[in-house]
Structure 1
Amino acid sequence: MSEGLAASAQEQFAAAFGHAPQGVVFVPGRVNLIGEHVDYNDGLVLPMPVREGTAIAWRSAPGGEIHVKAADFGSEDRFDLSLPEKPEATDWRAYVRGMCALAPVRPVSGLQLLITGNLPRGSGLSSSASLCVGVGKALAEAADDEADSVALAQAAQRTEHEWVGVACGIMDQMAVAAGEPGKALMLDCRDLSRQQVALPHDWAVGIVDSGVTRGLVDGEYNARRAQCESAAAKLGVASLRDADLAMVESGDLDPLERKRALHVVEEIARVGSAARAIAAGDLPAMCTVLREGHASLRDLFEVSVPAVDELVERIDALLGDAGAARMTGAGFGGSIVVVGERDAIGGLPALLARPVRLAF
């Protein structure tokens, strides 16, 4: 747990409600090393938890009301735990209410909740998944129970779908619910089988904020998913996980669908290449994977933006053979992930004249 953030949540809870909380949960955000836009295509992904995340202080309360305060927004919400209603706006309240409605474990009494976090909003580091899984964990603790990580992730994904309107895959939710600090999570998004992958001790994973805030509920994310599903249907497969390059190149797809499908098929293969590179400590191979992945997101999936492309190119030039960068997350801004020699990444902030946060 992020001790500083947990202590802050406890202090803010006491100030807001006039008494100490019974407990505090912490859920990290995530950065994805490779495997972008393939989770909703039943593909393989390689995310890892980051140091920053969401802390939720909680205390049981009489009755069945949830009283939640979002410290970072200076706002609050009250609703009946037995029958949460969708709020008019899809802001933080939609995530909290949706998770309270769908969580696998819930207390019988009401709750007071204080939410705070240190994940930059719009950075592509899964602040929404962190929030949802955090709410689920707080509910389980208040019920004196322990929710299964897969059940928590699935409830958080349903919250995104049904309460927020984002047709996301399950990578983010599984990464923050089941990931381990300092390790990447090799996740099969079809059957949710997974393994923890330790990175070489002399490697580091850096995160650079591009300065371009992105959002998902503008339709672009859902449009990409629809294009992939249309391509899969035309190819006669359940999902693009079951397609190969020969099928995509010869299939009756329109030009846009072909580009999307090519990215997915090649990106899934890149995840396997990345896992082998990590296991072998082969940094040049990992750098190739990252650079090819960014080019594919830029040219085939078309979810990057010029400011991000320029920053990725600059980081690649600065690192040379010592590391590589690519956009991470759904796209249209957000963060850049950098994998490379620990010493080289340690020197990046001075060269870039901007912060570089370490994932672990």
Structure 2
Amino acid sequence: MAIVERLRKKFRDLYGQEPIVVAAPGRVNLIGEHTDYNEGFVLPGAVDKRMYVAIASQAEPEITIYANHFEESFSFNPEHALQPVSGWMNYMLGVTHHIKAAGKTIGGAQVLIDGDIPVGAGMSSSAALCSAYGFALNELFNLGLSRMELAFIGQKTEHTFVGVKCGIMDQFASLHGKSGHVMKLDCRSLEYEYIPFDFPDHKIVLVNSMVTHSLAGSEYNVRRQQCEEGVSIIKKTYHNINSLRDVNLQMLQEHQHLISPVVYDRCWYVVTEKDRLLNGCDALQHGDLEAFGKLMIATHNGLSKQYAVSCTQLDFLAERAGYIKGVAGSRMMGGGFGGCTINIVQTEMVDTFKQQIQHAFEQLFQVTPEVYITQIEDGTHVVNSEVYH
């Protein structure tokens, strides 16, 4: 792969030695949105857009990192107390800090980072960067950390060094991905199983609404509070429930007269999304992409109307995709208020889909949406240049 060979050459030019190269993928989530913090299920898959970390040891007790994308370098002593700074360096500082906090010893290293995950497209480039760097340190210094331990280290880094209170899905998916499969992750127990997503005649196509997630942070917290409010009311009758994961539609409907219409809508979406995800896994296990696509459309409608986290551009993209031949399903993906739609499109129709969706969007919004064509691939791994393809 050209990017890996470029990375190796750049590393040799910078540091004069041969590196280990680790690739960590971005992720998509096929169905199960805003279910993670309600202790439900999610269904992510790792994709063929990746962050890369090239690494080699050095005698000096220092970690030197060069970010190819920014053409910036940064050095620090891993033995010293590490504090957040500003910018991309926080991901490396945080991962180093939390690996040390786990009782592991890190020596000096030379590092080069690069990648081809589009930033801001909702494919979790930051989680992939943490995964790649943590995995690279684990390999170089034989630290013996498991993939799940590395996922938690990435999550803690986001919480403490970056200030984003994310769930575990992004890091989990980047580290545990498997080609031809998505992962049904139980956000309560962290148990997971691989679900086949083996449709070689289809691609996963993301279309960027070109709207930034300006409301996502504050509104995300409001949605959490609304879900918790619904749970607190239902819990007075059903004492054993702890989250919307434990609530079924009948329970919710019994309490409709006690819950404000807005909170009821929020809870209704989460409870029905839980069922959609389980039905979606069943459809995939039976190879029924048509049924899965209908569930994706229902998810979008719920996110737009009951959960109210969509926007005009996302609604347009999801609806317009339904009129294009070869599209099995389409919905907004991620926290909302911007970002991408995720579409499952027949491979032979991808070019037509791209042309039609861009043209229609351009006419209405006077901007060309970016389109990313992906497929489900393996999770974080060491790249062997001789066999990688």
Taking structure 2 as the reference length, what is the TM-score of the superposition? Answer: 0.84
- The alignment status of 1:359 with 2:375, answered yes or no, reads yes
> Which residue number in structure 2 is paired with residue 95 of structure 1?
91
Give yes or no for the alignment of 1:262 onto 2:268. yes
User: Which residue pairs with 1:247 in the alignment?
Assistant: 251
Cα deviations by residue, 1:9-54 (Å, 9 ceiling, x for unpaired): 2233233x33134311110000110011111221111111110010
- Paired residue type of 2:67: A
How many residues matched?
355
Q: CA deviation at 1:346?
A: 5.2
| Segment of structure 1 superposing worse, 173-182 or 116-125 | 173-182
Report how far residue 56 of structure 1 moved: 0.4
Q: Which residue of 2 aligns with 1:280?
A: 286
| Structure 2 CA distance for aligned equivalents of residues 79 and 217 of structure 1 | 33
Q: Distance in 2 between matches of 1:107 and 1:305?
A: 47
Bigger Cα displacement from structure 2, 324-333 vs 45-54? 324-333
Unaligned runs of 5+ in 1: none
1:166–1:221 contact (8 Å) kept in structure 2: no
Measure the CA separation in 1 of the matches of 2:156 and 2:214.
Answer: 19
Superposition pairs of residues 97-116 of structure 1, within 5 angstroms:
97-103=93-99, 106-116=104-114
* Counterpart selection for 1:66 from 59, 63, 68: 63
Q: State whether structure 2 residue 319 is matched by structure 1 residue 323.
A: no
Letter in 2 for 1:94: N
Letter aligned with residue 220 of structure 2? Y
C-alpha contact (below 8 Å) 1:105/1:145 kept by paired residues: no
Bigger-Rg structure (1/2)? 2
For the Cα contact (< 8 Å) 1:167–1:222, is it kept in 2?
no
Q: Distance in 2 between matches of 1:269 and 1:48?
A: 19
Separation of aligned partners in 1, 2:145 and 2:214: 29
TM-score normalized by structure 1?
Answer: 0.90
Write the distance in 2 (CA, Å) between the matches of 1:43 and 1:228.
12
Aligned partners of 1:218, 1:192: CA distance in 2, in Å?
Answer: 24
2:49 corresponds to 1:52: yes
Q: Do the aligned partners of residues 350 and 58 (structure 1) sit closer, same or farther apart at CA in structure 2, a change above 3 Å counting?
A: same
Greater RCO (Cα-Cα under 8 Å, separation 6 or more): 2
In the alignment, is residue 300 of structure 1 matched against residue 298 of structure 2?
Answer: no
Matching of residues 1-360 of structure 1 within 5 Å:
3-15=1-13, 17-89=14-86, 91-103=87-99, 106-201=104-199, 202-214=201-213, 218-236=217-235, 237-249=241-253, 250=255, 252-319=258-325, 322-345=327-350, 347-353=352-358, 355-360=371-376
In the alignment, the residues of structure 2 paired with residue 253 and residue 13 of structure 1 have an alpha-carbon distance, to the nearest angstrom, of 59
Post-superposition offset of 1:347: 3.4
Runs of 4+ aligned structure 1 residues displaced above 6 Å come to none
1:347 aligned counterpart, secondary structure: helix
Structure 2: tracts of 5 or more residues without a match: 236-240, 359-369, 377-389
Distance in 2 separating the partners of 1:66 and 1:287: 47
- Quickly say closer, same or farther: Cα 1:221–1:62, change in 2 above 3 A: farther
Structure 1 residue 242, shift from structure 2 partner: 1.3
Q: Percent identity?
A: 34
- Any conservation in 1 of the 2:208–2:340 contact (CA below 8 Å)? yes
